[in-house]
Amino acid sequence: MKSMRLFLPFLIVTLACSFSNTLATPTLSAPTLADPAVDSVSPAPTAVPVSSGPLLYISGTSHIESAPKSWPDHDAFLAFLQQVTDLGLRWSVGADVGWLEGEPRAAEIIQKSEALGVQWDVHTHDTADRAKAAWLVTQLGGHPNSVVSGMLVTELDAMRQPLTYQGYTWTPQILWGGTNCPGHRPGCDDLAAGLWSPLSSDQYQVHDPNGTLIRVGGGTHQLADALALARSISAGAYDHPVISFTIMVVPSTLRIVESADGIEQIADFARQMNAYPFVRWATIEEIAQAWVQAGRIPSRIEMP
Ligand SMILES: [Zn+2]
């Protein structure tokens, strides 16, 4: 019984990660949302006031799984995080408990990456591991944020209250990534861009004006699709104040998920995106904060 209970979530997470590679565990509390740092996330140039139209927030993220064969090369991973940071991108990492407990240099990677401005989301394949993963990050000298990086939409209600592990409490506030059906079959992943507060597991795509959990849609994670979204916004296709998209890189290959695009293509992508005055670089958590600051206007955008 126990093995079944543990195996199913693991299978679901594994499949979800292999496909979209994006899950985390968050909690946006009032203090976090009211953080003065919000104002410094993406200061709008005076020539482009926020009220002038949509802002497209781009985040970058990576998931490190529990299986050692999928772990990144330490130095190459840190060098990559340095490179994307130098490009002006904002990045987050979500590591499952296997890596947090088993990687000898986990503390070094967490601390050095945080010094670069990288944030640590909570990504686990088992609901019960989320508070443990957050706790482990703190034990390794890091500061986990409130982002649930990946989940089944059926886990929504379980994320509505603080989670605990050995007396440590971690409160999800932001939901990123996710899948609609076990097995991660085609069509299961929710690849929408944009933000909203999910009403319920059954009506996950419906915005709840009174909702507290914030869904940050990552889109397809592909560079070309983010560029296409930017072109659409430039053409006036949307009027939502805040729109989100996340590019995702596999830590062991340092390439965009399901793509051959690496740091060179990401650098070119950054140059192209920076040509749009409405593009901002922010972490998943920072995007949620910007969305709150802008009035919580739902901006779910379906993507192919
Ligand atoms: Zn995973």
- 23 CA → ligand 1 middle, Å: 7
Output the pLDDT for position 183: 55
State the distance from the centre of ligand 1 to the C-alpha of 255, rounded, in angstroms: 16
Mean pLDDT confidence for 77-90: 98
pLDDT in tens, 111-122: 999 999 999 999
pLDDT the model gives residue 53: 82
From the CA of 16, how far away is ligand 1's center (Å)?
7
CA of 70 to the centre of ligand 1 (A): 10
Nearest to 94 by CA among 165, 37, 172: 172
Confidence bin at 161 (pLDDT 50/70/90): very high
Res 186: pLDDT: 75
CA of 245 to the centre of ligand 1 (A): 19
User: What is the 63 CA–ligand 1 centroid distance (Å)?
Assistant: 6
Residue 99 · residue 71 · CB < 8 Å: yes
Q: 213 by DSSP, 3-state: which?
A: coil
Please report, for residues 101, 110, 115, the alpha-carbon distance to residue 104 in angstroms, rounded to integers and kept in the order given: 8, 12, 19
Is residue 17 scored above 50 in pLDDT? no
For ligand 1, the distance from its centroid to the CA atom of residue 141, given in whole angstroms, is: 22
Q: What is the 3-state secondary structure (H, E, C) of 188-207?
A: CECCCEEEECECCCCCCCCE
Structural tokens at position 13: 């997470």
- Report the separation in Å between the CA atom of 67 and the middle of ligand 1, taken as the mean of its atom positions: 10
- Read off the pLDDT of each residue in 68-95 and give the average, rounded to a whole number: 98
Q: Note the pLDDT of residue 159.
A: 96
Domain 2-293 falls in which CATH fold?
TIM Barrel (3.20.20)
- Measured in Å, residue 104 CA sits from the centre of ligand 1 at 19
Using the mean position of ligand 1's atoms as its centre, give its distance from the Cα of residue 266 in Å.
22
Give kind and range of the element (H or E) at residue 279: strand 279-281
* pLDDT reported for residue 181: 76
pLDDT of 46: 47
Ligand 1 centroid to residue 72 C-alpha, Å: 14
* Ligand 1 centroid from CA 284, angstroms: 17
Q: Return the percentage of the chain with pLDDT > 70, whole number.
A: 82
- Residue 189 pairs with which residues in a beta bridge? 179
Question: Which residues lie across from 168 on neighbouring strands?
Answer: 165
Burial 236-256 (b: 16+ CB within 10 A, else e): eebebbbbbbbbbbbbbebeb
How far from chain centre, in Å, is Cα 171? 16
Residue type for position 142: G
